[in-house]
């Protein structure tokens, strides 16, 4: 049982999620990300520009060399060139964050289960 607990803890510690480095991504990659999400109020995104500004909203329209980002609660729109954008993300958590939360919850469950089993064995384990 101790070996299983040690294996579970070491597995949980060794799994890490590395964020993708898109700082040097070509404009075609950004254009493909925008096209994949589509346009309209349901096409919500978080944008990071090359000068590290954070913007969020939805994609109102997308063209050949630029796209329009609109905020939901105001009439403000911003036209951004694909070359000015370094990262496009969806509105929710990244896959790496979701995996990390799942692994952490699993490790906590294994730890609690091991503690309960070890407290009940009274030295016979």
- Per-residue pLDDT at 24 exceeds 50: no
Q: Output 10 or 121, whichever has higher pLDDT.
A: 121
Q: Is the pTM of this model over 0.85?
A: no
pLDDT tens digits, 25-44: 457 888 888 888 888 888 89
CB 86 within 8 A of CB 48: yes
And the tokens for 20? 């993708």
pLDDT in tens, 69-98: 998 787 889 999 999 999 998 877 778 888
> Where do the structural domains in the chain lie, given as residue ranges?
1-19+94-125, 31-92
Predicted local confidence at residue 7, as pLDDT: 61
At the topology level, CATH places domain 31-92 in SH3 type barrels. (2.30.30)
Query: 88 is written with which tokens?
Result: 């496009």
Judge contact between 52 and 65, C-beta under 8 A: no
CB 110 within 8 A of CB 8: yes
Q: What is the pLDDT of residue 18?
A: 43
> Rounded to whole angstroms, how far apart are CA atoms 80 and 65?
9
Q: What is the mean pLDDT of the chain?
A: 81
In Å, how far are 3, 33, 54, 80, 119 from 62, measured between CA atoms?
55, 11, 19, 10, 61
At residue 81, φ and ψ (nearest 5 deg) are: -80, 145
Bridge partners for 78 per DSSP: 69
Q: Per-residue pLDDT for 108 more than 90?
A: yes
Q: Which is it for the CA torsion 97, 100, 106, 111, positive or negative?
A: negative
């Amino acid at each position: 049982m101790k070996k299983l607990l040690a294996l579970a803890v070491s597995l949980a510690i060794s799994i890490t999620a590395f964020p993708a480095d898109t700082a040097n991504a070509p404009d075609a990659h950004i254009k493909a990300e925008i096209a994949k999400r589509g346009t309209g109020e349901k096409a919500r995104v978080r944008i990071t520009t090359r000068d590290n500004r954070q913007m969020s909203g939805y994609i109102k329209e997308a063209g050949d060399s630029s796209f329009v980002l609109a905020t939901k609660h105001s009439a403000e729109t911003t036209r951004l060139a694909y070359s000015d954008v370094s990262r496009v993300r969806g509105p929710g958590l990244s896959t790496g964050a979701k995996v990390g939360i799942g692994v952490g919850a699993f490790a906590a469950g294994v730890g609690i289960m091991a503690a309960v089993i070890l407290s009940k064995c009274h030295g016979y384990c």
